[in-house]
Amino acid sequence: MNDKVNYSHIKGRVMKNAVVKWIFIMATSVALIFLALLIGRVLSQGVGYLSIDFLKNYPAPYIEEAGLFAGIMGSLAMISITAPVSMILGVCTALYLEEYARDNKFTRFIRVNVQNLAGVPSIVFGLLGLTFFVYLFEMGYTLIAGALTMSLLVLPIIVVAAQEAIRSVPSEIREASIGMGATKWQTIWRIVLPAAIPGILTGSILAFSRAIGETAPLIIVGAATAIYSIPDSLFSKYTVMPMQIYSWTARPQEEWQYVAAAGIIVLLIILLCMNAIAVWIRNKFQKRF
């Protein structure tokens, strides 16, 4: 502390400051540039093939008649099963781990493994779904088997997000509630969950976005690629948007690539809509509290 402040270093430090800032800007740009390239390419190839008929038609052998209707309806049907199943299971699991479970070796082991599961390749979940839902529970290659497989895939992501959201609720307001004679459940239901819901929803949105774009596990549990009906029961045959897109890209003629690009545009728009709805729900909750 006896050394004098060295003014000759100021210039160097200011320079470093500027350099670091530019490194971060460039890192961000890399992601943005590739995103722009991807969107630009997809738009330039696919926009011409977009039409109302493309949304309304079933897959067809001729490009002019091909459509994504079965895929759109299949994806929506699947997400409307996957979302409630995985959210109910995920939030209940997170509540147990954060609020009820004692902190011992066993629960710590579970916590670490839930986090590991969130990083397991999706194809592994496909194999799990094939073993359990398709064969063991004899569901076959049906919508419900696919949706439950997807629920398993997103479950760890939702559990981890919900755990973090629940943990970030300040302990002071829990104490205030318990100190007034509220039971643990009343405290969770009236205080902890309302405060944690924005965080839980944010995590769930990201998880569902992943689910709606997944193909690999569904190939294994038997989603169809060409199907001429929309799911009308839990045990219907089904396809989803990414499956349909995947099957188009696999065809030899170049024009099918453009049809696939059109499919990607539709998929992206539906993803954006889902996220917008969820963000809106989240903001609504935040305003109330």
103 contacts 172 by C-beta, under 8 angstroms: no
Q: Residues 195, 218, 245, 264: which binds other proteins (CB under 8 A)?
A: 195
Question: CB neighbours (10 Å) of residue 153?
Answer: 28
193 scored as a contact of other proteins (CB under 8 A): no
204 contacts 156 by C-beta, under 8 angstroms: no
Stretch of 47-55, 88-96, 176-184, 201-209 contacting other proteins, by CB under 8 A: 176-184
Stretch of 50-58, 93-101, 131-139, 180-188 contacting other proteins, by CB under 8 A: 180-188
Stretch of 93-101, 118-126, 190-198, 233-241 contacting other proteins, by CB under 8 A: 190-198
Total residues interacting with other proteins, rule: CB under 8 A: 20
Question: Of residues 102-161, which lie at the interface with other proteins (CB under 8 A)?
Answer: 102-103
259 contacts 49 by C-beta, under 8 angstroms: yes
190 scored as a contact of other proteins (CB under 8 A): yes
- Between the two ends of the chain, the Cα-to-Cα distance in Å is 49
Give the nearest distance from C-beta 277 to other proteins in angstroms. Answer: 24
CA dihedral over 209, 212, 215, 216, signed as positive or negative? positive
Q: Residues 12, 119, 170, 252: which binds other proteins (CB under 8 A)?
A: 170
Of the pair 172, 254, the CB lying nearest other proteins is at 172
Helices (H), the chain: 10-46, 52-56, 69-95, 105-117, 122-129, 143-167, 171-178, 184-187, 193-213, 216-220, 241-249, 255-288
188 scored as a contact of other proteins (CB under 8 A): no
Q: b/e for 39-56, b at 16 or more Cβ within 10 A?
A: eeebbebbeebbeeebee
Give the nearest distance from C-beta 288 to other proteins in angstroms. Answer: 8
Question: CB neighbours (10 Å) of residue 116?
Answer: 10
Of the pair 61, 179, the CB lying nearest other proteins is at 179
Of the pair 99, 255, the CB lying nearest other proteins is at 99
178 scored as a contact of other proteins (CB under 8 A): yes
Q: Residues 182, 206, 268, 270: which binds other proteins (CB under 8 A)?
A: 182
Question: CB neighbours (10 Å) of residue 258?
Answer: 19
171 contacts 105 by C-beta, under 8 angstroms: no
Stretch of 73-81, 84-92, 174-182, 275-283 contacting other proteins, by CB under 8 A: 174-182
283 scored as a contact of other proteins (CB under 8 A): no
173 scored as a contact of other proteins (CB under 8 A): yes
Of the pair 178, 234, the CB lying nearest other proteins is at 178
Quote the CA–CA distance of 286 and 283 in Å, as a whole number: 5
Binding residues for other proteins, per CB under 8 A? 102-103, 170, 172-173, 175-183, 186, 190-191, 194-195, 289
